[in-house]
Structure 1
């Protein structure tokens, strides 16, 4: 499977597993600061808003944003595009093989340094989700990754949980950006 096909598969898995059903508020290709004077505009692959509940204004205002960046290979991480982690929770969505290749960079700090230097507004509270065959555990898949081009049924598994952090952008701004994305 090539990069484009892998990216498409990861997007479809995320949409099916995390965004389908009633009461899901999400958008894709969300532009933040599209007319930024100094830096580059930011784009988040997927952004989700999760209110505490929908019964009161205060519950909605206690909602959190979760950002997801889709990366099909290690080169995607260092391409200069899209590591915009702006939510209270943030996830990289990738393949197990890509995660294994990136793990050393995460452990030795190269990955975090890259984010800090190239995406200074991005949060460092980031988790990782990987595609695994439906009836396989993430631990088994880590030991022996299944090639993505098989005809298996896939799901996303969290291999590195994201810890809750603070966001710098206002709720109004992020909701507006989600609405403006039109997806």
Structure 2
């Protein structure tokens, strides 16, 4: 084989390799699009991470899908509610406890749906992806806090500047408070809220 033939063969191999690389990159993007998390999956991801990160261990009192005003036309449902007593030895310690509500929002449509913003307790948080938080941060009432999943190796500022896809592989997530909640006056009695938590059975 002469030099010209060798060069032509080399060029053919390079072109073939380039074409294969392009196909792999395109197919990789397509596969990523195919596995992109939908609204239901994002809600489950956020909920499971919240439970594992904030409600596990001794002395955690919480319930899921807590219905308020059940049996009326104005029934409300709080995604998660937590009771935090100042202690558990005396009645006075329990009576000094506070309630925290968590509402999970998966996307902008969910946030704007008008459902689930039932802020009835002393502290209230929205739980959402960082990408959504960036879009709605200026709309969040000043007394409402926000919690987002943050990779362990990134700071809140780094994640805000460059949000990590929730379906990224090999990421160890932690729930972090990105916007503090300001305590407000509770709108329901302790007995009512504890009963509602108990009734939820979750």
Q: TM-score range by the shorter chain?
A: 0.7 to 0.9
RCO comparison, higher one (Cα < 8 Å, 6+):
1
Residue of structure 1 equivalent to 2:52? 16
Provide TM-score, normalisation by structure 1.
0.87
The aligned residue for residue 106 of structure 2 is 72
From 148, 171, 180, give the equivalent of 2:190.
171
How far 1:148 moved relative to its partner?
Answer: 1.0
Q: Kindly state the Cα deviation for residue 125 of structure 1 after the two structures are TM-superposed.
A: 2.3
**Equivalents in 2 of 1:99, 1:147: separation in Å?**
14
Alignment-derived partner of residue 149 in structure 1: 167
Confirm whether residue 55 of structure 1 aligns to residue 89 of structure 2: yes
Corresponding residue for 1:116?
none
- Per-residue Cα deviation, 1:71-103 (whole angstroms, up to 9, x for no partner): 011111111211101110000000000001112
Superposed structure 1 runs of 4+ greater than 4 Å apart: none
Equivalent pairs, count: 165
- Aligned pairs for 1:2-151 (under 5 A) are 2-37=38-73, 40-106=74-140, 112=141, 125-151=143-169
For structure 1, the 5+ residue unaligned runs are 107-111, 113-123
CA distance in 2, matches of 1:24, 1:105: 31
Inter-partner Cα distance in structure 2 for 1:4 and 1:155? 20
Aligned residue for 1:142, secondary structure, equals helix
Q: Which has the higher Rg, Structure 1 or Structure 2?
A: 2
Gapped runs of 5+ residues in structure 2? 1-36
Higher helix content, 1 or 2: 2
